[in-house]
Amino acid sequence: MAKYFSQRSGRTLNNQPELAWNGVPVCDTFAEAFTTVGTRLIVTAATESWVRIAAAEVTGYATSVIACDAEAGIETFLTPGESPDGRPGVSLMFFAFSRSALEKAVTNRVGQCILTCPTTACYAGVPVTDPEKAIALGKQLRFFGDGFQTSKKWEERRLWRIPVMDGEFVCEDRVGSFKGVAGGNLLICATDQSAGLLATEAAVTAMRDVDQTILPFPGGIVRSGSKVGSRYSALKASTNDAYCPTIRAQTESDLPEGTGCVYEIVIDGETFAAVQQAMRDGLDAATREPGVLEITAGNYGGKLGKHHFHLVEIIAELEQNQ
């Protein structure tokens, strides 16, 4: 059997959480997150419809670096007045464990999903302040132009104009990067699937208003929360059995009595503060919905990630803001 880490429940000796918010018990535990390398792209198109299509395509299959080349998501949609070229746009964020891995993922995704999408253009959402930390984007994709590509200067930035069949694809030469935080999380325990989904959707809606963050999983929600490792040596991760209601009698369960459903929300962000704000706003929103039995978070005893988001501190912030 492979060794694996399960989550710490943050319960007291009488198996009851020590905290509460809006009348909902909150475990005195922490979410454990990791340092990553991130970047931001601004994609524009002729219409909002094509912006949304491009955003969905380029951020697809990007939920977890356990099995994906990157974690990616929509930060916010942009009005024509907010975008670089006066058209509808979207701000997208991408995260990986190294700059080289991030560059490969972003270049492949833009090449296959943005270059190919009607009317789009792609700009840096992070300025290049250090050439050593830059990601080559248009610098690589320009070769698709087969010698017909041209470059243009935009203030101090370089853009590439690549001829395509509906006109030209404009793409920034290089994009800056930053050290990010990936893996902030909340676990929402509810009486049943309907109540769990309602509360988690409310949390996601609140979190999406927080700048510098993304929720990389489908609709921002994870149904298949995982632990590190598995009984099967070939797997890096496996089902978080401590939070699976249907097998609570077969494993060491951390579920409160009456739980029929658990959903997780994972947050990636540019800064620790941004991720913590998203967790705070999401926790507040979820606990205002009926049927929520407990809020907790996933960690591995602090052994795997250096960023720890303590729920007691988040509750303290909520109390200060009342």
pLDDT value for 14: 43
Residues 95, 184 within the same domain: no
Q: Are residues 152 and 275 in the same domain?
A: no
Among 178, 206, 234, the domain-final residue is 178
- Name the 3-class secondary structure at 54: helix
> Considering the domain boundaries, does residue 150 fall inside one?
yes
| Sequence-separated (6 or more) residues with CB below 8 Å from residue 287 | 21, 22, 23, 24, 26, 199, 295
Task: Single out the residue of 236, 244, 286, 249 nearest to residue 265, CA to CA.
Answer: 286
Per the structure, how many domains does the chain have?
2
- What does the pLDDT average to over 138-143? 98
The confidence score (pLDDT) of residue 16 equals 54
Q: Would residue 5 count as lying in a domain?
A: no
Residue where the block lists tokens 């190294």? 98
Q: Which two tokens stand for residue 314?
A: 């988040």
Using the predicted structure, report yes or no on whether residue 9 has a pLDDT greater than 80: no
Residues 123, 185 within the same domain:
no
When pLDDT is averaged across residues 209-230 and rounded to a whole number, the result is 96
Pairing verdict, β 121-124 and 261-269: unpaired
Within a domain: 10: no
Residue 13 maps to a domain: no
pLDDT band at 8 (very low <50, low <70, confident <90, very high): very low
CA dihedral 77, 123, 156, 177 (to 10 degrees): 90
User: What sections of 125-184 are H helices per DSSP?
Assistant: 138-141
- Determine how many CB atoms are found less than 10 A away from the CB of residue 52: 15
Token look-up 């080559």 returns 136
The predicted pLDDT at position 13 comes to 36
Residue 182 confidence (pLDDT): 97
Question: Does 209 share its domain with 283?
Answer: yes
Mean pLDDT of 131-137: 96
Q: Give the end of a domain, one of 178, 206, 237.
A: 178
What's the pLDDT score for residue 15?
A: 52
**pLDDT surpasses 90 at 196:** yes
Region 116-144 average pLDDT: 97
Contacts of 168 (CB under 8 A, 6+ apart): 161, 162
pLDDT at 1 over 50: no
Residues 169 and 41 in one domain: yes
The verdict on 140 and 221 lying in the same domain is no
Q: What is the pLDDT of residue 322?
A: 87
**Collapsed DSSP state (helix, strand, coil) of residue 32:** strand
Q: Which of 7-16, 30-39, 90-99, 248-257 has the lowest mean pLDDT?
A: 7-16
CA distance 136 to 149: 16
- With beta carbons less than 8 A apart as the criterion, state whether 150 and 162 touch: no
**Does residue 189 share a domain with residue 101?**
no
Regarding whether 148 and 79 lie in a shared domain, the answer is yes
Are 253 and 149 members of one domain?
no
DSSP state letter for 113 = I
Looking at the fold, whether 169 and 207 belong to one and the same domain comes out as no
Pick from 69, 141, 73: nearest CA to 112: 141
**What are 160's two structure tokens?**
């590439």
Q: Encoding tokens for residue 122?
A: 């792609």
Is 57 inside a domain boundary? yes
In this prediction, residues 115-135 reach a mean pLDDT of: 97
pLDDT of residue 40: 98
**Shared-domain flag, residues 173 and 214:** no
Tokens 């409310």, residue?
202
Of the chain, the percentage scoring pLDDT greater than 90 comes to 90
> Is 308 within a domain?
yes
Domain-located, residue 2: no
pLDDT digits (tens, 9 = 90+) for 75-90: 999 999 999 999 999 9
126 domain residue, yes or no: yes
pTM to 2 decimals? 0.94
pLDDT band at 30 (very low <50, low <70, confident <90, very high): very high
- Domain limit, last residue, from 147, 178, 209: 178
> Taking a C-beta distance cutoff of 8 angstroms, is the pair 312, 19 a contact?
yes
Q: pLDDT tens across 160-177, in order?
A: 999 999 999 999 999 999
Counting residues of the chain whose pLDDT is more than 70, the rounded percentage is 95
Enclosing domain of residue 131: 37-178
Please state the φ and ψ torsions of residue 96, each to the nearest 5 degrees: -150, 175
Whether residues 245 and 204 fall in one domain: yes
> The domain that contains 87 carries what CATH number?
3.30.70.520
